[in-house]
Amino acid sequence: MNTLGIVLSRPAHDGAGSLAPLPRKSNLRNQNSLIRQAVFFGAPSCQVSATLWSLAPQIDSFILYLATERGLSDAYQLSVRRTLETLADWAQQRDLPGWQDLGIDHLREFLSQQKSRGLEASSLRIAVVHLKIFFRFLVSRNLLGEDPAEPLLSPRTGSSLPGTLQVSQVARILDSIDPSKPLGRRDLAILELFYASGLRLAEICSARLESLDLEDGFLRVTGKGNKTRIVPVGGQALAALKSYLDNERPELVKPHTSSEIFLSVRGGPLGPDRVRKIVKERARQAGLTGNIYPHLLRHSFATHLLQNGADLRVIQELLGHADIATTQIYTHVDDQRLKKVHRQFHPRA
């Protein structure tokens, strides 16, 4: 209990003070609400310092900006908040009472400490982005005279290529689903749509009936940053959707059911965790080993399009990537395939 009578939980750090993993998706909204009530975290039995309270309002303003003006997800907001509150805690320990007291050397020392405590290069890159956009925000709002994060450089990471399934593996999963069994039509429609349209997990869960055009074979989805795009639905996916909507979804509808396409047995929309389990279970039933997850089908969608001659700009639009550089990673995946074929068949490879 602090001086204001608010019970505060511990920060999203591990025991050593490093950035901790994000909470599960299902708890994000509750935790974001709690964070807004308890502006900064402290130990349950300690007083909240003046330093933390002086730094917290700017963090709250920035998170509000990300939510209302940028339309970024709860998960991203919590990720940013975690980084900034870890920095604020670090600043308190060094008697730095305000954001204006932090310079580039302080930020480098902070990131170096996080690295020494086991934060991976990929996570450090994300933290650098958080710091850059936060301090840029403070300067733009005249809350800070200079941007101490401007000279920060992101640490290099090793090239990480997305995993993909072979066409035969995807077919094996889809062909193993029996539509005549309970929830078979629903699960088949989900996996067909993942692979046919390259959708993100959140886009599958939020897809609504009014956004689906069965006649022309298109689906309107809202992706990252609340950006809307139109994606084509392939013939087999369309057939699976029609079968599910005609024969199975009506049985799942309850008085409280809304217009999400994919429903649980209780009549509510399927959540991300349940869809992940559906993908894993169906892959396991098809005899596939390893980690099979929804985004793997999205990667496979893009890779198979590229391998069959699709233009990279078209793939970018289908995936909803804001930057072509994000889509270009699939050219590296295809390069790897070409090298493998060359090594396998060329006599002097």
Taking the model in full, what pTM does it have? 0.58
Band (pLDDT 50/70/90 cuts) for residue 1 is very low
Higher pLDDT, 155 or 217: 217
Q: What is the mean pLDDT of residues 153-181?
A: 84
| CA pseudo-torsion sign 100, 101, 102, 105 | positive
DSSP 55-86: HHHHHHHHHHHHHHTS---HHHHHHHHHHHHH
Radius of gyration of the chain (CA): 24
| CA 218/CA 196 separation, integer angstroms | 11
Asked whether the predicted pLDDT for residue 27 surpasses 60, the reply is no
pLDDT attached to residue 336 = 65
3-state secondary structure of 56: helix
Q: What is the mean pLDDT of residues 145-153?
A: 89
pLDDT attached to residue 282 = 97
Q: Tokens representing 52? A: 């933390």
Asked whether the predicted pLDDT for residue 151 surpasses 50, the reply is yes
With pLDDT > 70 as the criterion, what percentage of the chain qualifies? 79
What mean pLDDT is reported for the chain? 82
Higher pLDDT, 85 or 343: 85
3-state secondary structure of 135: helix
3-state secondary structure of 105: helix
| 303 residue type, one letter | T
- Region of poorest pLDDT, from 43-52, 86-95, 199-208: 43-52
Q: Report the interhelical angle of 74-93 vs 121-140 (nearest 10°).
A: 90
Q: Report the interhelical angle of 184-197 vs 272-285 (nearest 10°).
A: 100
Asked if residues 70 and 85 have their Cβ atoms less than 8 Å apart, the reply is no
- Region of poorest pLDDT, from 37-46, 169-178, 203-212, 327-336: 37-46
pLDDT, tens only, 77-95: 999 999 999 999 999 899 8
Which residues are catalytically annotated?
200, 224, 295, 298, 321, 330
Domains for the chain: give ranges and CATH numbers.
25-140 (1.10.150), 167-345 (1.10.443.10)
| CA 124/CA 113 separation, integer angstroms | 11
- Region of poorest pLDDT, from 117-121, 214-218, 235-239, 249-253: 117-121
Asked whether the predicted pLDDT for residue 131 surpasses 90, the reply is yes
Asked if residues 240 and 311 have their Cβ atoms less than 8 Å apart, the reply is no
Higher pLDDT, 234 or 16: 234
Asked whether the predicted pLDDT for residue 263 surpasses 80, the reply is yes
